[in-house]
Amino acid sequence: MKSVPRQASGIRNKVARRRVVLEEKAVKKKDRREARKSREKERERLGSEAPPKREPRTLENTREHDETIVQRGDEAVAEAEQVDEFAGVFGGEVTPKILVTTGYRATRVTYEFLKDFVAVIPNIVYYKRGQYELKRIVKYATNKGFTDIIVVREDHKLLTGLVHCHLPDGPTAEYRLTSYVPSGRIRNRGKSTSHTPEVSSCTSVRSCP
């Protein structure tokens, strides 16, 4: 018989309420464990006549159908990839070479972010913005063989986003930054390695270049 725990929602004292919540979780965990043992015993008793095991709920088997998910062998996607601006990069024919810069009058917040950013992105070079117009920097990057340029944006000493332009003719994308935490403030943080990061689970047309 299942235990009936006290209701935590009506308890005003924070310490007592947390204790009751933990008790509720312990009771539910115990009930699930006992139910699982009961099912296992029933399966052993029935032997070959036992019903099939219930399939565990996962993200894959509970995901609703999405027509933007790329299916293996999709002809339309294959044709699009052949004329995609990043086809050479994803095909391994071109190694990305990235120039990153800032907006005018960048502050310590941006430079602190850049320190982490250049540590995790391979083949990236920081170029001081100074008073140069962005058009001039783009022209310089193109002449020097850079494949992409990224501009770190901030507003009132708060990071707002990244502008990413594929050289020489685009496309251009803008990414928002909403919850950046400098690596120096992360407790028990790991150390970066020289491994090249890669995207390994890109399945949606919306999320893939």
Query: Each residue of 114-141: pLDDT tens digit?
Result: 998 988 888 899 999 988 998 999 999 9
Both tokens of 64, joined, read: 């609703």
38 has a pLDDT exceeding 60: yes
Q: Please say if the pLDDT value at position 60 is more than 80.
A: no
Round to the nearest angstrom and report the end-to-end CA distance of the chain: 55
Residue of 3, 29, 57 lying closest to 37 (CA atoms):
29
Digit-coded pLDDT (tens) for 186-209: 888 777 777 776 655 455 444 454
- Give the residue among 148, 108, 109 at the shortest CA–CA distance from 127: 148
- Above 70 in pLDDT, residue 14? yes
The DSSP letter of residue 112 is H
E strand or H helix at 164: strand 158-166
- Give the whole-angstrom CA distance, residue 6 versus residue 80: 59
